[in-house]
Amino acid sequence: MDPKIIFYIIIGIIVLNFLFDKIIGYLNGTKYDAPIPELLKDVYDTDEYKKSQAYKKENSKFSNVSGLVSILITLAFFFLDGFAWVDGIARSFSSNEIVITLIFMGIISLGSSLVSLPFSYYHTFVIEEKFGFNKTTKKLFWLDLIKGLFLSMILGGGILTLITWFYEEVGQNFWIYAWVLVSIVSIFMNMFYSKLIVPLFNKQTPLEGGELKEEITNFAKKVGFTIDKIFVIDGSKRSTKANAYFSGFGREKRIVLYDTLINDLETKEIVAVLAHEVGHYKRKHIIFNLILTILLTGFTLFILSLLVNKPIFSEALGVSIPSFHVGLVAFAILYSPISEITGIIMNVISRKFEYQADNYAKDHYDGKYLISSLKKLSKNSLSNLTPHKAMVFVHYSHPPLLARVQNLLKK
């Protein structure tokens, strides 16, 4: 096959992905002015609903502008032989393929970060600030950026180094070793993310004794669930939006509550949210998602091993010397339609799991408290109460609020 055909297939995929995303966004936008569903009338008053509509519309305009700029820069980079230019820079520093790969990917990642940086800054300090969400200082914004880049260099660079080394040493069967490596890292991060990574960005403190802890302890005893690691995270230093999550398993499992969640909700509502998180654990959702992610990773790496060493992919991107890193970029784009499909499937499964966790909270605590907590959280984050079905199907990992309330009201 002519490398030019591969090149235009890649360009076609990039453009179609962009158009698909914009069509979904447009359809979602047609629902912005829809009336509030009857079951959710108590979420917003008239002024608050107007504010939520303005927030949705402003974010939509921002997404359209940032997306358009991003795709134009991407297409210019492709048509101006940007990959050949970056590959030449990388090869000017070393003849070692691992070093070349790290420099090449490092430049691409840095360039992508620089393109997105102004948009990230604007979204944080203009849009989020305008609607009262932002609590991030400029100093904290830049510190987060530096820490994030450092982590990417250490973790991402380390994994990429080993995968490239596997490829150099064993050839096409490198995917097996890469799969084992990524699986180990995934399990390790799932267990220790809150313990090792989160403290780099946020302060976590054990939940102090009092009414909330007593209520949580009583619930845990009732359902036979050991909770000896409950932490409060200082999410309020970045945003007013609230959250809670469950991480790890075995002796490393822990519940993390945002301080904003504790401030926004009543005690029984917080326990209802926690009951939902316990439901995920009891229904083995965390383990299932981890196993499914590992299997999908193995499948992806296997397909990569069949294609990455084909010289035509490097030639399609204008690079004369066949190389692992350029083949990796070409594969990532060519594989993206499959990735989109698997992402949709994962979202379908995730939404099903959310219903199951909601049902667990309803059956073992009290559904009315979960309903009231979900409504408060939606109100405080100016959530979209009327998303388009296409947006939900493609992008939502959680069911929309109306669907969750309807499910919780079932007998």
Catalytic residues: 277, 358
Residues in the chain: 411
Closest CA to 302 of 323, 330, 277, 331: 331
Q: Distance from first CA to last CA of the chain, Å, rounded? A: 60
Distances from the Cα of 140 to the Cα of 9, 148, 229, 265, 324, angstroms: 41, 12, 27, 27, 37
Contact call for residues 256 and 357 (beta carbons, < 8 A): no
Closest CA to 255 of 267, 263, 247, 265: 247
Q: Can you tell me the distance from the alpha carbon of 26 to that of 387, in angstroms, rounded to the nearest whole number? A: 11
104 CB-contact burial (10 Å; exposed 0-12 / middle 13-18 / buried 19+): buried
Q: Which helix (H) or strand (E) holds 107?
A: helix 97-122
Closest CA to 259 of 129, 144, 135, 384: 135
Q: Across-strand partners of 257?
A: 232, 244
Contact call for residues 296 and 339 (beta carbons, < 8 A): no
Distances from the Cα of 300 to the Cα of 18, 178, 329, 358, angstroms: 22, 11, 14, 32
3-state secondary structure of 247: strand
3-state secondary structure of 204: strand
Kindly write down the DSSP assignment for every residue of 298-324, as one continuous string.
Answer: HHHHHHHHHHTT-HHHHHHTT-SS--H
